[in-house]
Amino acid sequence: MILSGRPPRGRTLQALVIAVTLALALAPFLFPGVKPLNVAAKVCVYALLGASYDLLLGYAGMVSFAHVMFFGVGSYGVGLALYGLGPSWGAVALGLAAGLAVSTLLALAIGLFSLRVQAIFFTMVTLAVSYAFNVLASQLDWLTGGEDGRSFRVPEILQPGFRLIDREAFGVALGGRQVSYYLVLVGCVVVFLALLRIVNSPFGRVLEAIRENPFRAEALGYRIVFHRTLATCLAAAGATFAGALNALWLRYVGPDTALAGSIQIATLVVVVIGGMGTLYGAILGAALFVVAQNYLQTLLGAVSTAAGDAGLPLLPGLFHPDRWLLWLGLLFILAVYFAPAGLVGALSREDDTTP
């Protein structure tokens, strides 16, 4: 295949990746309604966010805490451009371009500054820089709207009131939300495919070599500081795209949707439960995580009520919907324990050849 030298291994895995992709492609028709479409869009965004993080974590073996910052740069780039310039595609393009430029420069600075020293220093610098960025974003009230963030209008075709066609298609009214969803989906697919191509390029293989054995990679003539820095920039660009698409979908940008530490943790969880170093893992991980995040509470609520009705002690409290994070954490620990290589690793364990 032109895109990848390594298609996903194993039938179950291929079937799962195809099933999730198809479900996302047909989401507006399969799961009509406001909440399901929100969930589907979030799966797309997290799949891309996870895939771009995987380029760093799984391929280059680098731990970054600044990934959500680059996501935020994309979100704020598009959000503030639309807020300031009004709802036009020009503003979207400008915001995205500005976001990409800022992200790349930040990534370049972080990489060149920290990677000359040691990989652990890189991790600490990403933490420090993203913290500083968060403070800056909430302090620059006049620009970012501070803690309240900014709500903005999107180009007309993306607005909820917009009608694409008057009739319904397959029983679904096609309006601005559906168009927005497909913009998010297509955007994520295109950037995901670009990432897929990158990890399977000669450069991508060098990243894996550096992860496996930096000492040997240097002995072959690879200057690993530059490779790691380039990987940081590319991953940052991927996260910026994800952030921009997310802002367009939400029509809002603020610290809690663009910069929250919980997004960074969610990204890590997506990549780890999906399987590091595979890229496809991010699709499965995102689907699992976002669906769990959104429906675990409903499920727990049902269990809790049922337990309460049955007069069981303790259980209603344990399964209270507010405890969903506890259960998610538990599921995460179990997943890491029983499938350390993630879903992809667990499903493709068929031979002793390459991953």
Task: Give me the residues that bind other proteins (CB under 8 A), please.
Answer: 1-5, 197-198, 200-206, 208-209, 212-213, 215-224, 226-227, 230, 234, 352-355
Instruction: For other proteins, give the closer residue by CB, 166 or 354.
Output: 354
Distance, in Å, from the CA atom of 282 to the CA atom of 342, rounded to the nearest integer, reads 10
Give the list of residues 6+ apart from residue 29 with CB closer than 8 angstroms, or none.
169, 170, 171, 172
Output the smallest distance, CB 62 to other proteins, in A.
16
- Judged by beta carbon, residue 37 or residue 196, the one nearer other proteins is 196
User: Token pair of 294, please?
Assistant: 């959104």
Here the tokens at position 67 are: 């990934």
Min. distance of Cβ 279 from other proteins in angstroms? 14
Number of CB atoms found within 10 A of residue 19's CB: 12
In the complex, minimum distance from the CB of residue 228 to other proteins, in angstroms, rounded to a whole number: 12
Shortest distance, CB of residue 144 to other proteins, whole angstroms? 33
Q: At 173, phi and psi to the nearest 5? A: -75, 125
Tell me the two tokens of residue 332. 């995460």
Q: Output the smallest distance, CB 197 to other proteins, in A.
A: 6
Specify the long-range contacts of residues 163-170, CB closer than 8 Å, at least 24 apart. 169/29, 170/29
- Residue number, 8 or 255, with CB nearest to other proteins: 8
Q: Which is nearer to other proteins, 49 or 209 (CB)?
A: 209
| Residue with Cβ nearer other proteins (206 or 300) | 206
Record the tokens describing residue 157, joined without a space: 């075709």
Non-local (6+) Cβ contacts of 133 within 8 A are 66, 69, 72, 73, 259
